[in-house]
């Protein structure tokens, strides 16, 4: 192999190794920041066909309905604890230290971002409430179908009638 080809091969290998290392580091950094969405039922029973459960300390997003009568406020601080429920009937406790959104109320659909403390407790660092009566995040709407508070825009009969 002549010296010119050897030099080109070395440069190509060095660039390829550098690109592979950069991609590997990016994927590792992104895996630390991925927040997976769970419903209370998925959190307790597992998600997907393999029933995969998140690990304690894992960052996640959880969405569901705030159980009426479950909101407990600490008198000395901004700490709040409340339960979430979904169509499966599983309850998960969310703790939050901060000011809740103005639209937060019992019986309302919310999404909380935080870390899993144990199998049924999430320590939230952000709580999001729906912004008006017509909007619900798609993940929460899918998770809450079948619950008594959920009111779909159209019934199945109306959808069938409009297709014919």
| Binding-site residue set for heme | 131, 135
With a CB cutoff of 8 Å and minimum separation 6, the contacts of 120 are: 43, 44, 91, 92, 93
Q: Which residues are annotated as a binding site?
A: 131, 135
The Cα–Cα gap between 84 and 67 comes to: 6
The Cα–Cα gap between 122 and 54 comes to: 11
DSSP 115-130: EEEETTEEEEEEEEE-
Which residues are 122's β-sheet partners? 94, 116
Instruction: Let me know the angle formed at the C-alpha of 128 by 89 and 139, rounded to the nearest 5 degrees.
Output: 50
The Cα–Cα gap between 84 and 65 comes to: 5
């Amino acid at each position: 192999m002549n010296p010119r080809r050897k030099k080109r091969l070395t440069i190509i290998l060095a660039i390829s190794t550098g690109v592979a290392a950069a991609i590997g580091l990016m994927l590792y950094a992104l895996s630390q920041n991925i927040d997976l969405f769970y419903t209370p039922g998925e959190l307790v029973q597992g998600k997907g066909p393999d029933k995969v459960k998140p690990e304690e300390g894992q960052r996640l997003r959880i969405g569901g309905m705030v159980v009426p009568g479950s909101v407990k406020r600490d008198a000395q601080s901004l700490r709040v604890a409340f339960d979430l429920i979904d169509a499966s009937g599983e309850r998960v406790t969310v703790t939050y230290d901060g000011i809740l959104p103005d639209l937060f109320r019992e019986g309302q659909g919310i999404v909380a971002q935080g870390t899993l403390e144990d199998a049924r407790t999430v320590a939230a660092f952000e709580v999001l409430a729906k912004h008006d009566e017509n909007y619900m995040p798609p993940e929460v709407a899918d998770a809450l179908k079948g619950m008594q508070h959920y009111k779909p825009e159209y019934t199945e009969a109306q959808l069938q009638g409009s297709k014919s």
